[in-house]
Amino acid sequence: MLSGMESRTVAWQPIADTPVAYLREGDETHPPLDSPAYKSTLLRHPRAPLLYLPQTLSEISGPALGAAARLGPLDHDLTRQHAGAPIGERLIVQGRVLDGEGKPLRGTLVEIWQANAAGRYLHKRDHWDAPLDPNFSGAGRCLTDDDGRYRFVTVKPGPYPWGNHHNAWRPAHIHFSLLGRAFAQRLVTQMYFPGDPFFPYDPIFNAVRDERARERLIAAFNVHETVPQWAQCYEFDIVLRGPAATPFEEEL
Amino acid sequence: MIFPTTPSQTVGPYYAIGLPWPQGPFVVPEGTPGSVRLHGRVYDGRGALIPDHLIETWQADPDGRFADMHGAGPDGPSALEGFRGFGRCGYEEGDGSYALWTVKPGRVPGPGGELQAPHVLVSLFARGLLNRLVTRIYFADEAEANASDPVLASVPSERRSTLLADPDGDGGYRFDIRLQGDGETVFFAL
């Protein structure tokens, strides 16, 4: 558990271009809730169709949690949260948080969590027989800067077995949580690494039906930002849905 | 130019490493006058409790104003001391229940400018949910406001009760969520 994020009010910062509605998304982007190959969906997906919810002030506003977050100085660096360095390949994981028009989302909270290099989570219900690392908790937080950029330092998570089907293994991944600037933009996702051999067999990754959409979950190795003698860099841009076209634009 | 959205993925079983924090369930600071406990349980399609769910809420304050960082809303941000408007509750070893400390929201404008009934927006995450589920909590003791709410009016009448939190007899409200089957909660596409 990270420290900070006390409740307190923040100065009001009105932004002139706050969207009044967000683009509604089709089925090709997000995975269907009923995805039978991922067995945990069987009893957890609603059977009734989702009902249309208009986007009112409730849906187009969003928490000031980002600005109110009292971030610890090492919350973004998962390799320096303990007395020693964690085992594993040191990584810089960085990117931009954008909306669907390509505009950077500044000051928005990015939260990550992940397994250690052996594929083990520091969680009471993870019983996989792989070692915990006393120097790795696996959680990080940061706010995007004025260009919508975030940056974490961590180690590469290992793949790990799970019980979904015979010989099931999750591809190595880092969980990402994004608040965006509106309730309508809230997103939780997973970042994967290029060329993972478990991709063809993973029902969670493949629940995203469109191949191009799946590719948007895979980080890119960035040799230019890789730091000599120190850490590999992976780049992962995240796009939250953007403003809906105005009625005027729809008429054209 | 439209940038395609990053797809959603499940929060998985181990989100408690990164997402909950001690103050998360406090939408308002402890001891705020008029604050209430909003709580309930979350069930799967067989009626079993879901121990590894994560619930988040977003709502206006009693004056209908939000704690919004971008200034959405005609009246500016909430003036209620310490009002976060956002709640998050999830446990490393959960028992299927959740509890938040909040204030009953005021009324905010709806799609046509008319006032909506008091409501709390909910995002529900869990292992087995490849995308969040979105619903709204209304209050059973706001019958008059509920009767004219445009969103409730769009819900088939026999399912509306799944969106109502009931007074729990102890000053708080109870709102259970059923993901599937009998009494399935109404979920929304946003």
Residue B170 in domain: yes
B158 inside 8 A of chain A by CB: no
Closest C-alpha among A175, A156, A158, A164 to residue A202: A164
In this complex, the residue of B45, B78, B84 whose CB is nearest that of residue A43 is B45
Buried b (16+ CB within 10 A) or exposed e, B62-96: bebbbbbbbbbbeeebbebebbbbbbbbbebebeb
Contact assignment for B7 to A124 by CB distance below 8 Å? no
Residue B117 is classified by DSSP as P
A234 is catalytic: no
A165 is catalytic: no
| pTM listed for this prediction | 0.94
ipTM: 0.97
Distance CA B85, CA A219 (A): 33
Distance CA B188, CA B165 (A): 17
Distance from CA of B170 to the nearest CA of A (A): 25
Residue B79 in domain: yes
Give yes or no for residue A250 having a pLDDT over 80. Answer: no
- Taking the CA atoms of A125, A126, A131 and A136 in sequence, report the sign of the dihedral they define: negative
Closest C-alpha among B10, B58, B29, B76 to residue A13: B76
Q: Which residue has the higher pLDDT, A244 or B35?
A: B35
Distance CA B150, CA A67 (A): 33
Instruction: Burial-class residue B149 by CB neighbours within 10 Å (0-12, 13-18, 19+).
Output: buried
Residue A155 contacts residue A90 (beta carbons within 8 Å) = yes
Contact assignment for B179 to A46 by CB distance below 8 Å? yes
- Taking the CA atoms of A132, A134, A136 and A139 in sequence, report the sign of the dihedral they define: positive
Domain of residue B133, residue span: 35-178
pLDDT in tens, A155-195: 999 999 999 999 999 999 999 999 999 999 999 999 999 99
pLDDT of residue A15: 45
Nearest CA in chain A to B94: A125
Distance CA A196, CA B176 (A): 40
Q: What is the band of A9 on the pLDDT scale with cuts at 50, 70, 90?
A: very low
The amino acid present at A88, given as its one-letter code, is G
* Chain B residues lying within 8 Å of A104, measured CB to CB: none
Q: What is the band of A1 on the pLDDT scale with cuts at 50, 70, 90?
A: very low
Number of domains in chain B: 1
pLDDT of residue B135: 98
* Chain A residues lying within 8 Å of B20, measured CB to CB: 1
* Chain A residues lying within 8 Å of B101, measured CB to CB: none
Provide the mean pLDDT of chain A: 90
pLDDT of residue A153: 98
- Cα angle A9, B168, B89 (rounded to 5 degrees) comes to 40
**CATH code, domain with B116:** 2.60.130.10
Q: Which two tokens stand for residue B177?
A: 């969520």
* Chain B residues lying within 8 Å of A38, measured CB to CB: 10, 128, 130
Give yes or no for residue A65 having a pLDDT over 80. Answer: no
Residue B64 in domain: yes
Three-state DSSP at A150 gives strand
Strand-pair partners of B26 = B101
Distance from CA of B84 to the nearest CA of A (A): 6
Which position has the token pair 């989100």? B15
pLDDT of residue B71: 64
Residue B144 is classified by DSSP as H
Residue A138 is classified by DSSP as -
Q: What is the band of A218 on the pLDDT scale with cuts at 50, 70, 90?
A: very high
Distance CA B182, CA A48 (A): 11
Query: What are the residues whose beta carbons fall under 8 Å from the beta carbon of A41, sequence distance 6 or more?
Result: A33, A34, A35, B128, B129, B130
Q: Which residue has the higher pLDDT, A12 or A168?
A: A168
Tell me phi and psi for residue A155, to 5 degrees.
-115, 160
In this complex, the residue of A40, A58, A186 whose CB is nearest that of residue B108 is A58
Residue B189 in domain: no
Residue B52 in domain: yes
pLDDT of residue A246: 58
A208 inside 8 A of chain B by CB: yes
A38 is catalytic: no
* Chain A residues lying within 8 Å of B18, measured CB to CB: 2, 111-113, 138-141, 175, 177
Distance CA B173, CA B37 (A): 6
Residue B161 in domain: yes
pLDDT in tens, B115-134: 999 999 999 999 999 999 99
Within 13 Å and on the Cβ side, how many CA atoms surround A48? 20
Give yes or no for residue A219 having a pLDDT over 50. Answer: yes
Residue B82 in domain: yes
B53 inside 8 A of chain A by CB: no
Give yes or no for residue A213 having a pLDDT over 90. Answer: yes
Q: What is the band of A249 on the pLDDT scale with cuts at 50, 70, 90?
A: very low
A201 is catalytic: no
Three-state DSSP at A211 gives helix
pLDDT in tens, B59-97: 999 999 999 766 656 677 898 999 999 999 999 999 999
Mean pLDDT (whole number) for B36-58: 98
pLDDT of residue B38: 98
Residue B97 in domain: yes
pLDDT of residue B70: 66
**CA-atom Rg of chain A in angstroms:** 19
pLDDT of residue B181: 96
Please pick, among A151, A175, A209, A216, the residue that the annotation labels catalytic: A175
